[in-house]
Amino acid sequence: MPTCQCQHNIVRFARVRDDIKPLDYADSSGSLIDPEWITITHNKLGVDCHGGLEGYSMEFRRDDGSVITWEEFKTSEHAAETAMRWHSIYPNEWHPCMVPDSDNARPWLTTPLQ
């Protein structure tokens, strides 16, 4: 059986401002989440294991990079627009990057802030 060739790369990140914390967004227990960062990740799933699906996820992260929860979108633009509508993350607050995603990825430590 062929191995899965999924790729997950963080392509944008933004710091959650103190004036909008905690976010008006609940986790699976119903508690409001209090992330430090929001990332947008490009997900390119393997053909053999997932039929080649491709899309983006908006991930809510702690300062250590761990993911609290996420939402999935068809495009990066839709994810960023939703972050603005739901969480007041404005276009000028996003930082572009290309960082392989992991359970503790922290692009804010490896990417110069603009």
On whether residue 71 sits in a domain, the answer given is yes
Tens digit of each residue's pLDDT (9 = 90 or more) over 55-64? 899 999 999 9
On whether residue 54 sits in a domain, the answer given is yes
Contacts of residues 75-82 at CB distance under 8 Å and 24 or more positions apart, as own/partner, are 76/11, 76/12, 76/40, 76/42, 79/40, 80/12, 80/40, 82/58
Q: What is the mean pLDDT of residues 65-91?
A: 95
The answer to the question of residue 2 being in a domain is no
Q: Give domain status of residue 77, yes or no.
A: yes
Q: Residue 72's domain spans which residues?
A: 7-110
Q: Does some domain include residue 69? A: yes
Chain-wide mean pLDDT for the chain? 88
* Domain count of the fold of the chain: 1
Task: Give 17's pLDDT tier (boundaries 50, 70, 90).
Answer: very high
**Predicted local distance difference test score (pLDDT) of residue 18:** 95
Give the pLDDT of residue 44.
86
Residue 1 lies in a domain: no
The answer to whether residue 64 sits within a structural domain is yes
In a domain, 65, yes or no: yes
pTM of the predicted model, to two decimals?
Answer: 0.85
Higher pLDDT, 2 or 11: 11
User: Is the pLDDT confidence value at 101 over 70?
Assistant: yes
Q: How many CB atoms lie within 10 A of CB 48?
A: 13
pLDDT at 48: 62
> Does 1 have pLDDT greater than 70?
no
Q: How confident is the model at residue 29 (pLDDT cuts 50, 70, 90)?
A: confident
